[in-house]
């Protein structure tokens, strides 16, 4: 693909994108990746003015791409003068340094851009601390680069000693700051744990929305509750968790949390730093995976979400898959195909409020731990149990005698366990499965 003439917006930072096609990657894969990189650039406040693609099996240790390609790009840069060159993969500190020398312009990688977007979108103290930690972690091994730059500007003689010790001082300061942030974040984590414990004491089940960034998680939370979370056509619009109560039938409720979205090649340092936020996912009883069914790269997005869930230790959680944005699909055939592949996935449109009842029913079914059809005999004196059953189960009919009430009902496995735990002296007349 040759550089193209793109429309430019003079208020935005102009960016040249560089993507690498690795072995086994199809042209469509690459296009999808570059499209995403362009979207990230846009979200970060840049405007794409051109793109280069290099075919390469192994990254060059010195400058990531081949020398010939780097020179070809340098020529383009000399003519078109983009403010930034953005690489789709993470560059080592040395690669970044060398490329800046060849291109004579600022070079950033995908990781740095994602960190930048997070920094722009962080609002709460928790979000700001977590992103600062991730950015400092990224900066630490790259400090030398800034110092070398200084040495070049001021000349080598006499710079070596002070430069070296300045670097050491900077490094130590950064490490101290990182240690301080980690300590503050431990407090945040403790506070979140307390909140969750309190919620559990109320007997509320916790569910967490997960999914690729821009899949529609916040839109779904807003549609199911009055959360009023900002939903934008932007990547990583949400960083800080929001939890709201969703009313389920049978007087039950569940707490649903909307949190940060995932992306392919999510920087590891970022996952590490966002531990406090991601614990909302790790500690949930149920994950509601919001999938953008209209996205051309949807299968890869699903894989990326599964990979992040594995990484944070939430790979084994029960998941309810919802296929969102079905209003954008041309016809039903895609949905039918999807349902063959992912049998239980629920087609919905969060934006248009279609299929939300099914989501609520499925969450409720999960919360009940499956339903049982039973006949129970409860002593009339056990008002507490009778009250519990009237509220928490669906009672089909009641037969009264002097001593007892016989109820034919449908009840969640979990609710039955709760009733047992109260020490109630009910009898089960139908054999339990
Ligand atoms: N057509 C259509 N658009 C939708 C639907 N659901 C969400 N969107 C749009 O998709 C974009 C992203 O929605 P969000 O709810 O912000 O997505 P998110 O998953 O919270 O994204 P991040 O917080 O950025 O990770 C917005 O422009 C929404 O209006 C849907 O069912 N149909
Ligand atoms: Mg969101």
Q: Which residues lie closer than 8 Å to 264 by C-beta, 6 or more apart?
A: 33, 36, 300, 301, 304
Report which protein residue has its CA nearest ligand 1's atom 8. Answer: 216
- For the ranges 121-135, 150-164, 180-194, the lowest mean pLDDT is seen at 150-164
Tens digit of pLDDT for each residue in 228-271? Answer: 888 888 888 888 899 999 988 777 788 999 999 999 988 888 99
What's the gap in Å between 224 CA and the centre of ligand 1? 14
Please give the number of the atom of ligand 1 that sits closest to the Cα of 230: 16
- In short, whether 241's Cβ falls inside 6 Å of ligand 1 is no
Is the C-beta atom of 231 inside 6 A of ligand 1?
yes
Report the pLDDT value the prediction gives residue 306, as an integer from 0 to 100: 94
pLDDT at 155: 46
CB-ligand 1 contact for 215 (6 Å cutoff): yes
Question: pLDDT tens across 14-33, in order?
Answer: 999 999 888 888 888 888 88
pLDDT tens by residue, 329-387: 887 777 777 777 776 789 999 999 999 999 999 998 888 777 788 999 999 999 989 98
**Considering the chain, what percentage of its residues have pLDDT values greater than 90?**
51
From the CA of 40, which ligand is nearest? 1
Cα(217) to centroid(ligand 2), Å? 5
- Determine the average pLDDT of the residues in 124-137: 93
Q: How much is the pLDDT for 9?
A: 63
CA dihedral 211, 216, 218, 224 (to 10 degrees): -110
349 lines ligand 1 (CB under 6 A): yes
Which SS3 state, helix, strand or coil, does residue 38 take? helix
- Please determine, for residue 10, whether its predicted confidence score (pLDDT) is greater than 80: no
**Atom from ligand 1 closest to the CA of residue 211:** 19
At residue 152, the pLDDT reads 47
What digits encode the pLDDT tens for the residues 293-319? 998 888 889 999 999 999 999 998 899
Residue predicted with more confidence, 143 or 288: 288
Question: Is the per-residue pLDDT at 156 higher than 70?
Answer: no
Residues in the chain: 433
pLDDT of 233:
87
Measured in angstroms, how far is the CA atom of residue 176 from the centroid of ligand 1?
Answer: 39
Q: Of all atoms in ligand 1, which is nearest to the CA of residue 220? A: 15
315 Cα–ligand 1 center, Å:
24
CB of 238 shorter than 6 A to ligand 1: yes
d(CA 288, CA 170): 44
Q: Give the phi and the psi of residue 123 in degrees, each rounded to 5.
A: -120, -45
329 alpha carbon, distance to own chain's centre: 24
Ligand nearest the Cα of residue 233 is: 1
pLDDT in tens, 54-108: 888 888 999 999 999 999 999 999 999 999 999 998 999 999 999 999 999 999 9
**Average pLDDT of the residues in 180-195:** 92
**CA 360 from chain center: how many Å?**
22
Going by pLDDT thresholds of 50, 70 and 90, the confidence category of residue 158 is: very low
Q: Name the residue with higher pLDDT: 2 or 130.
A: 130
Ligand 1 proximity of 301 Cβ (cutoff 6 Å): no
Between 89 and 3, name the one with better pLDDT. Answer: 89
Contact 138 CB / ligand 1 (< 6 Å): no
Q: Name which residue sits closest to atom 12 of ligand 1, judged by CA.
A: 214
pLDDT of residue 210: 97
**Closest residue by CA, ligand 1 atom 13:** 216
- pLDDT bin (cut points 50, 70, 90) of residue 406 is very high
Q: Average pLDDT, whole number, for the chain? A: 86
- State the pLDDT at residue 151: 47
Determine the average pLDDT of the residues in 198-216: 87
Virtual torsion, Cα 168, 169, 171, 173, nearest 10 deg = 160
pTM for the predicted model, two decimal places: 0.83
């Amino acid at each position: 693909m040759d550089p193209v003439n793109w429309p430019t917006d003079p208020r935005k930072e102009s960016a040249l994108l560089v993507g690498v096609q690795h072995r086994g990657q199809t042209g469509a894969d690459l296009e999808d990746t570059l499209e995403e990189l362009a979207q990230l650039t846009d979200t970060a406040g840049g405007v794409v003015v051109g793109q280069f693609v290099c075919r390469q099996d192994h990254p060059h240790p010195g400058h990531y791409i081949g020398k010939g390609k780097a020179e070809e790009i340098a020529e383009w840069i000399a003519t078109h003068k983009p403010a930034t060159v953005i690489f789709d993969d993470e560059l080592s500190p040395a690669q970044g340094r060398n490329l800046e020398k060849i291109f004579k312009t600022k070079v950033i990688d995908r990781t740095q851009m994602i960190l930048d977007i997070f920094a722009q979108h962080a609002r709460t103290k928790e979000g700001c601390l977590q992103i600062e930690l991730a950015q400092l972690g990224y900066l630490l091994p790259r400090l030398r680069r800034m110092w070398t730059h200084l040495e070049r500007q001021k000349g080598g003689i006499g710079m070596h000693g002070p430069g070296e010790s300045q670097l050491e001082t900077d490094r130590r300061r950064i490490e101290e700051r990182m240690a301080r942030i980690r300590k503050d974040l431990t407090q945040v984590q403790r506070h979140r744990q307390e909140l969750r414990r309190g919620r559990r004491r109320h007997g509320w089940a916790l569910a967490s929305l997960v999914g690729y960034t821009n899949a529609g998680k916040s839109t779904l939370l807003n549609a199911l509750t009055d959360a009023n979370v900002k939903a934008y056509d932007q990547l990583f619009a949400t960083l800080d968790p929001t939890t709201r109560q969703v009313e389920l039938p049978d007087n039950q409720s569940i707490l649903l949390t909307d949190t940060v979205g995932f992306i392919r090649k999510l920087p590891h340092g970022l996952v590490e730093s966002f531990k406090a936020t991601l614990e909302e996912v790790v500690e949930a009883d149920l994950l509601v995976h919001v999938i953008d069914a209209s996205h051309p790269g949807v299968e890869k997005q699903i894989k990326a979400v599964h990979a992040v869930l594995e990484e944070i230790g939430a790979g084994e959680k029960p998941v309810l898959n919802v296929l969102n944005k079905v209003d954008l699909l041309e016809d039903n055939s895609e949905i039918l195909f999807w349902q063959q592949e992912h049998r239980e996935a629920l087609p919905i449109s969060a934006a248009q409020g279609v299929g939300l009842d099914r989501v609520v029913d499925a969450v409720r079914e999960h919360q009940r731990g499956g339903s049982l059809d039973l006949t129970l005999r409860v002593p009339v004196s056990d008002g507490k149990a009778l009250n519990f059953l009237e509220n928490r189960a669906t009672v089909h009919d009641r037969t009264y005698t002097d001593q007892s009430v016989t109820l034919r009902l449908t009840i969640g496995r979990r609710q039955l366990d709760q009733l047992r735990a109260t020490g109630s002296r009910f009898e089960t007349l139908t054999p339990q499965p």
